Amino acid sequence: MIQENFLELIRKQSTTKKSLIDDIATALDISYDAAHRRINKKSKLSLEEAVILAKYYNLSIDQLFSAEDEHIVAVKKTAPVTNTESLLAYYNNSYESLLPLVNNKNVEMIYSAKDLPIFYTSNDNLLSKFKMYVWLKIMDSSLTETSFSNFNISLSLLQAAKRLGELYKNLNAIEIWDITTINSTLKQIHFYFESEALTSKDAFEICDNLKELINNISKKIVTQKDNFKFYYNEILLMNNRVLVKTPTEKSLYVPFTILSYYRTNDVTTCNQAEQFLKIQMDGSKLLSAVGEKERNVFFNKIHKKIDALRSLIQAKNTLEFE
């Protein structure tokens, strides 16, 4: 019974055009006849073979012992970012995983953005450096007392980040934003300014970088309609969920810790996530398909948020009652 259930899970998970017998023969490196005997239950799968097939099809063997198979999903966890070395590895690994997807019209990335997508803060400006500072200051205890002015990053980290940012420009991407997508970055600027870890001069420059980024996205919506779609959703809050679709498989990334994700290729789970993302998009405005006035309304709201933060910092500098 267990072997039968396992084979049924494999049938549901398989995305290749080969027959199941051929696929299992390839996975286990056995003959066609040997694979046929296992599928027809004339030969039992060994524990070692079950583990190999579970890895091959991204399945969890735990599913075999559950009465509710559809509620158990096998996931892979990306490595956590805890210091500059692991952040560098994160940028390099992200670049390598996305590189095969570039300029492929059959590939699509859907990004539900609760915060600024990391690709937009992978640059050589002060905004990108500040985001690295925020991530690492939270995760790396050695930076607890470090001010932004004393935070230094290596040339290799800067180059890796910029390389990833440039790569994203050539991906077929769909982004779903709300006005609140900018909020966490604004709160971070304000928090570190208030705690005197960030000078007003640097805070103003980061705000300028943010405004430039928003302007660039606004232009991208119009100039890259073929490979970039931008949705404005006012109802459902985002959570930085990412779905990558290729001709052969789908991958879902769900936040775990700062910059680390749970990843699954489970067909049912990815299809359910895609269906929910479609619901989000159906309830959103596709800003590349509306008039200039509606686009400006959205981006002007974000600019006003940035301007309000600048005014708050300026007022603190000017009044300074404390």
Cα 28 from Cα 45, distance rounded (Å): 10
Cα 37 from Cα 72, distance rounded (Å): 28
Cα 4 from Cα 189, distance rounded (Å): 56
Pairing status of strand 173-177 against strand 228-232: parallel
Residues paired with 262 in a beta bridge: 77, 254
Of the candidates 194, 32, 187, the residue with the CA atom closest to the CA atom of residue 114: 187
End-to-end CA distance of the chain: 73
Percent of the chain with pLDDT over 70: 91
Specify whether the CB–CB gap between 230 and 175 falls below 8 A. Answer: yes
Residues paired with 257 in a beta bridge: 260
pLDDT by residue for the chain (322 residues), tens digit each?
A: 566 777 777 777 766 667 888 888 888 888 888 888 888 878 888 878 888 888 888 776 655 554 445 566 767 888 889 999 999 999 999 999 888 888 788 899 999 999 999 999 998 899 999 999 999 999 998 998 999 999 999 999 999 999 999 999 889 999 999 999 999 999 999 999 999 999 999 999 999 999 999 999 999 999 998 899 999 998 877 688 999 998 888 899 998 888 889 988 888 889 999 999 999 999 999 998 988 999 999 999 999 999 999 999 998 877 665 5
Cα dist. 81→41, 109, 133, 137 in Å?
Answer: 45, 23, 12, 11
Of the candidates 109, 106, 81, the residue with the CA atom closest to the CA atom of residue 97: 109
Cα 186 from Cα 193, distance rounded (Å): 11
Of the candidates 214, 219, 187, 209, the residue with the CA atom closest to the CA atom of residue 288: 219
Secondary structure of residue 322 in the 3-state scheme: coil
Cα 168 from Cα 171, distance rounded (Å): 5
Measured in whole angstroms, the distance separating CA 26 from the mean position of its chain's CA atoms is: 32
Residue for token digits 């599928």?
39
Measured in whole angstroms, the distance separating CA 137 from the mean position of its chain's CA atoms is: 21
- Phi, psi at residue 28, to the nearest 5°? -95, -5
Tens of pLDDT, residue by residue over 277-289, are: 999 999 999 998 9
Tens of pLDDT, residue by residue over 133-175, are: 999 999 998 998 999 999 999 999 999 999 999 999 889 999 9
Specify whether the CB–CB gap between 175 and 117 falls below 8 A. Answer: yes
Q: How many CB atoms lie within 10 A of CB 39?
A: 19
